[in-house]
Amino acid sequence: MDNVVRQNRLSLRSILMRFGFLIVFALFFLFFAAWNPVFVQGQNLLNIVEGSAILIIVAMGMTLIVATGGIDLSVGIALDFGAAFAVVAMKSYGMGWFSAACVGLIGGSLVGLLNAALVVGLRISPFLATLGTFFIGSSAQRIFTNGGGPISYRKMPEGFRDIAQGDLYGIPTEVIIAAVLVLIYYLVLERSVWGRRVHAMGMQRSASIVAGIRVNRILIACFVFASITCAVGGLIAAANIRMFTPLSGFSYLLDAIAAVFIGAALHPRGRPNVLGTLAGVLFLGMITNGLNLMGLNFNTKDALSGIILVSALALAVAQRNMRNADGD
Amino acid sequence: MQVSARHQKHRLATLVGFLPLIIFLALLLYVGLNAPNFMTVVNLKLVLAQSLPVVLSVIGLSAVVMAGGDDVVSGGIDLSTPATAVLCAGIVSVMTTAGQPLLIAAGASLIACMLVGVVNAVLITRLRMAPLLATLAMFVAVVGINNVITARKRLNLAAESIASLRQDFVFGIPLGILLVAVLALLAYHFLHRSKWGLNLQAAGGSRDAAEISGIRVDRLVAQTYLLAAFMGFVTGFFMLARANGYSPGAQDNLMLEMVLATFLGAAFSPRRIVTVWGAILGAVLVAAISIGLKTIGVNVFWTDLIKGALIVIVVALSAISERVQ
């Protein structure tokens, strides 16, 4: 009798362990679908992915930095710089859309270079270094725009506008860009020797130095790579509203961190990983979209998504703990 | 000969160790020379009064960092304190505006704030969630709840007695400054001079060693999150007094200044660790720099850049001095 009960509990436990977070994901999905049938329509699901495209991109960069064992508080600055450099290149220097996009990516990489110089060159901890970059980058934008007014460019070239507003066989370009970046990140971080080195360094830095991994070189590459990725997000943001809005990147920071850690909690060994981050971003996007469709008051919606975020994270972590306890 | 060389190297290390503080003081001196009324007693009181909310919140944060270890990503940190502070300010404002007595409003907000602390403690010590993640998520949730309570409106101060934190004087010293000074001394005593504080530092220094020697680390860590929530509660009243009411959106700036002050404070301490006095000094110096730059007419767009550069310089210097030593 006792045995049977225990077995039952064990099987329930094992189901929860393996699928806990996915079950919550599915329950929310069903709940929103029941509330408003529009939620499950193909167009709306595509809207969720399209609305999350920039966050997916920023969260990829964050995943890379967290995998090295650091954190990047300046992802928003890299995003803003990408948008600002591209818009100014087109508006003031009359560049074509492609060269302007490249200038945007170079602008974003400046942020990564500054981070790398501070973290690798001056040995400042990533948290404080990127906090410094955040302050400096925010101020630079205020100075440049004379207080934070947006730089709009309604007549931007068709090609640049298409980065956000075009589509390929009915799929929005931004979704395609995000998908390509996710694929690249997956192959580089999870399926290559270089990615192994990044993870090794994030888990045991001193051991990986002893093993001959060139930690500094990898760190520099990661910071630059991550900032260029965020600048891609900036290009999309700028193309979407045809203007550069200073300091708008900050709003992605907390969500990107949350998505990376949800993803890490889903991983068997608690490591940040590309697919987990993707799941985290889509979860957040689904919650935002679903609450919007419920037609709630703006403040209530904000509070609810905050509470859901805490509970979802708690659940994801509890799930990982149970799995680890069983593995011991 | 050799001895003198070593002696010289030691002197160099001490000098480099004090550089962060020297840079700050030099900047203040520069401000003082350019704006003669900066170095007056009235203005210094203004600087202190301005820094009170940050000073209070860094007391809680430094306790959390001391017990959890100073690695920002995996160690202890409480980013939710600013949210707790605005939650307190919000609840007190809404209830007193609705005509409730201050004491009941304060009681209700104390319960709400401590609830935030309890949730933090459970997430971190029971579920083993990374403190950075747990308290960041709590920050978002608590700010969201507070926005529902206050509907994001500016509320003027309804309880006059809170204003006395700003207006009243005891022995010529503003009441608010006096109260915070007493709280700071108490915090210094409990965190640096009591058995509890020593256990706390042992836990933060090496968790495993502390556990082996019989310190109940989880309990201590949980207590620091409760302390941080309580300090957030106290901070709420000083924010109400400073802004003469509740203004939405105060939490973001408080979070940045709190983190900045605490980790700058570590650069001021001889062993480069987070201490209560270092964090408080950091909070006052950051407020002094902000006000000082305004008095000499530096464009407000540049203040963040100067603050960011200061973080980088100070922290880099403390890393260099560690290597020299």
Q: Which of B116, B119, B148, B274 to mutate to test the interface with A (most CBs of A within 10 A)?
A: B148
How far A83 CA sits from the closest chain B CA (Å)? 20
Chain A residues lying within 8 Å of B319, measured CB to CB? 122-124
Is A270 or B106 the better-scoring residue by pLDDT? Answer: B106
pLDDT value at position A247? 87
A317: left (phi over 0), alpha (psi -120 to 50) or beta: alpha
pLDDT at B269: 79
Is B40 within the bounds of a domain?
Answer: no
When pLDDT is cut at 50, 70 and 90, the band that residue B59 belongs to is very high
Residue A14's pLDDT is 65
Residue B286 has pLDDT above 50, yes or no: yes
The dihedral built from the CA positions of residue B221, B223, B225 and B231, taken in this order, carries a sign that is: negative
Q: Does A89 touch chain B (CB under 8 A)?
A: no
The partner residues of A151 in beta bridges, in order of sequence, read A244
CB of A315 within 8 Å of a chain B CB? The answer is no
Asked which of A203-207, B23-27, B136-140 is least confident by mean pLDDT, the reply is B23-27
Nearest to A258 among B137, B306, B315 (CB): B137
Q: Does the beta carbon of B304 lie under 8 angstroms from any beta carbon of chain A?
A: yes
Shortest Cα distance, chain A CAs vs residue B250, angstroms: 16
- A window 58-77, beta carbon within 8 A of B: 66, 69-71
pLDDT exceeds 50 at position A79:
yes
Is B297 inside any structural domain?
A: no
Shortest CA gap A277–chain B (Å) = 14
| Between B22 and A284, residue with greater pLDDT | A284
Tokens of B33: 């020379």
* Cβ neighbours of A313 in B, within 8 Å: 123, 129, 133-134, 137
pLDDT at A270: 79
What region does A26 belong to: left with phi over 0, alpha with psi -120 to 50, or beta? alpha
Contact A124 B316 (CB under 8 A): yes
- Mutation target to probe the B interface, by most B beta carbons within 10 A, among A63, A66, A136 is A136
pLDDT of B29 above 90: no
Identify the residue whose tokens are 């393996």: A18
- Chain B residues inside the 8 Å CB shell of A318: 127
Domains of chain A: 22-321 (1.10.3470)
**Measured between CB atoms, does A321 come within 8 Å of chain B?**
yes
Residue B36 domain flag: no
**B120 or B298: which leads in pLDDT:** B120
- Identify all chain A residues contacting B315, using CB atoms and an 8 Å cutoff: 122, 124-125, 128-129, 132
Q: Which of A73-87, B53-67, B303-317 has the lowest mean pLDDT?
A: B303-317
pLDDT in tens, B228-241: 999 999 999 999 99
Asked whether the beta carbons of A69 and A220 are under 8 A apart, the reply is no
> Which of the residue ranges A25-29, A247-251, B72-76, B197-201 would you say has the lowest mean pLDDT?
B72-76
To the nearest whole number, what is the mean pLDDT of chain B?
Answer: 87
CA–CA min distance A313, chain B (Å): 8
d(CA B255, CA A90) in angstroms, rounded, equals 37
CB spacing of B130 vs A303 below 8 angstroms: no
Question: Considering the domain boundaries, does residue B310 fall inside one?
Answer: no
Confidence bin at B44 (pLDDT 50/70/90): confident
Checking if the pLDDT of A224 tops 90, the result is yes
Beta-bridged to residue A168, according to DSSP, are A171
> What pLDDT was estimated at residue B76?
87
Give A9's pLDDT tier (boundaries 50, 70, 90).
low
Tell me, what's the pLDDT at A75? Answer: 95
Give pTM, 2 decimals. Answer: 0.85
Cβ of B19 under 8 Å from any chain A Cβ?
no
Domain hosting B148: range is: 53-287
User: Which B residues 222-281 touch A at CB under 8 Å?
Assistant: 256, 259-260, 263
Ranking A189-193, A289-293, B167-171 by mean pLDDT, the lowest is B167-171
Identify the band that residue A152 occupies on the pLDDT scale cut at 50, 70 and 90. confident
**Mean pLDDT along residues A238-259:** 89
**Cβ-based contacts of A66 with chain B (< 8 Å):** 73
A86-98 average pLDDT score: 90
Residue B205 lies in a domain: yes
Using a CB-CB cut-off of 8 Å, the residues of chain B touching A119 are none
Which residues of chain B lie closer than 8 angstroms to A147, CB-CB?
301
**Nearest Cα residue in chain A from B70:** A125
- DSSP character string of B40-64: SHHHHHHHHHHHHHHHHHHHHHHHH
Q: What percent of chain A has pLDDT over 90?
A: 51
**pLDDT given at position B40:** 82
Give the distance from residue A137's alpha carbon to the nearest chain B alpha carbon, in angstroms.
7
A62-71, B71-80, B190-199: least confident range: B71-80
- DSSP-assigned letters across all residues of A238-297: HHHHTEE-TTGGGGGHHHHHHHHHHHHHHSTT----HHHHHHHHHHHHHHHHHHHHTT--
Our count of domains for chain B comes to 1
Cα-Cα-Cα-Cα dihedral sign, residues A262, A263, A266, A270: negative
When pLDDT is averaged across residues B191-218 and rounded to a whole number, the result is: 91
Is residue B11 predicted with pLDDT exceeding 90?
A: no
Task: Give yes or no for residue A96 having a pLDDT over 50.
Answer: yes
B308, part of any domain: no
Residue B316 lies in a domain: no
Q: Are A74 and A111 in contact (CB under 8 A)?
A: yes
Contact list in B for residue A125 (CB cut-off 8 A) is 71-72, 315
The predicted pLDDT at position B232 comes to: 97
Nearest Cα residue to A117 out of A142, A136, A89 = A136
The partner residue sitting opposite A300, judged by closest CB among B137, B148, B302, is: B148
Residue A63 contacts residue A88 (beta carbons within 8 Å): no
- A91-100, A110-119, B16-25: which has the minimum mean pLDDT? B16-25
pLDDT at A1: 43
Query: Is residue B281 situated within a structural domain?
Result: yes
ipTM: 0.80
Q: How far apart are CA A140 and CA A257, in angstroms?
A: 24
Among A77-91, A163-177, B74-88, the minimum mean pLDDT is found in A163-177
